[in-house]
Copies of this chain bind each other. A is one copy, B any other.
Amino acid sequence: MPRNRRPQDREEKRAEIVVAATTLFTDSGYDETSMSKVATAAGVTTNTIYWYFDDKDALLVAVLDYVLEAALADAALEPERPWGEQILWAVDRLDQYRRLVTVVHAKTATSPVVEAWHNGFHTLVDTLLVDGFRRVGIPESDLVPMAAIGTFVVEGLLMHPHAVKDRRVIVQTLVASRP
């Protein structure tokens, strides 16, 4: 058995746990999903999870990484769109992860590892929003506050259910607004 076989297996097993946790966390919620439920869904024993992850927070971060990576890969395949459509696409794409969005904000206050992920996520989103607003002609001096407002609108739409039509009106109003 070659030496590089093992790490391969380890990654596969780890991934199975992450996939199981993703489904449960997004559908039933983080607090509502016990480690033993994740274990059962992944076909392992509860404490086996602790061989792969430090604790439940670390498993959450792994789920967040997994979900974000998939969304970014999807985004790369998508055609260029008008700026408003781009934002709406992202909101639609992330809509299924509402429960992750709320739990990240709640856990950020107490879990350093979740807080770190949250910071990195906001840095990424901020970069994307600054670029987008620059492209539609927002003056350089207003880009930072506009990106902040954009972030809050995207998060707000993810945290509060809205009809697809209402989302559209809100986002169009946002991208059409000028300070």
Chain A interface residues (CB < 8 Å from chain B): 29, 31-32, 98-99, 102-103, 105-106, 108-110, 122, 142, 144-146, 148-149, 151-153, 155-157, 159-160, 162, 166, 169-170, 172-174, 176-179
A176: contacting residue among B156, B170, B179, CB under 8 A: B179
| B153–A169 touching, CB < 8 Å | no
Residues of B within 8 A of A142 (CB): 173
Q: Which of chain B's residues have a CB closer than 8 A to the CB of A29?
A: 109-110
Q: In the complex, what residues of B have CB within 8 A of residue A108's CB?
A: 102
Alpha-carbon gap, A103 to B162, bound state (A): 20
**C-alpha gap A162/B98 in the complex (Å):** 23
Query: For A157, what are the chain B residues with a Cβ–Cβ distance below 8 Å?
Result: 152
CA of A31 to CA of B31, assembled, Å: 10
Question: What separation, in Å, do the CA atoms of A177 and B177 have in the docked complex?
Answer: 6
- State the CA gap A148–B170 with chains docked (Å): 7
Q: How far is the CA of A174 from the CA of B106 in the complex (A)?
A: 26
20 interchain pairs, CB-CB under 8 A: A31-B31, A31-B106, A102-B102, A102-B109, A105-B106, A105-B159, A106-B106, A122-B160, A142-B173, A145-B169, A145-B173, A145-B174, A149-B149, A149-B153, A149-B170, A149-B174, A151-B156, A152-B152, A152-B157, A155-B159
List the B side residues contacting A98 at CB < 8 Å. Answer: 109
Closest residue on chain B to residue A172 by CB atoms: B145
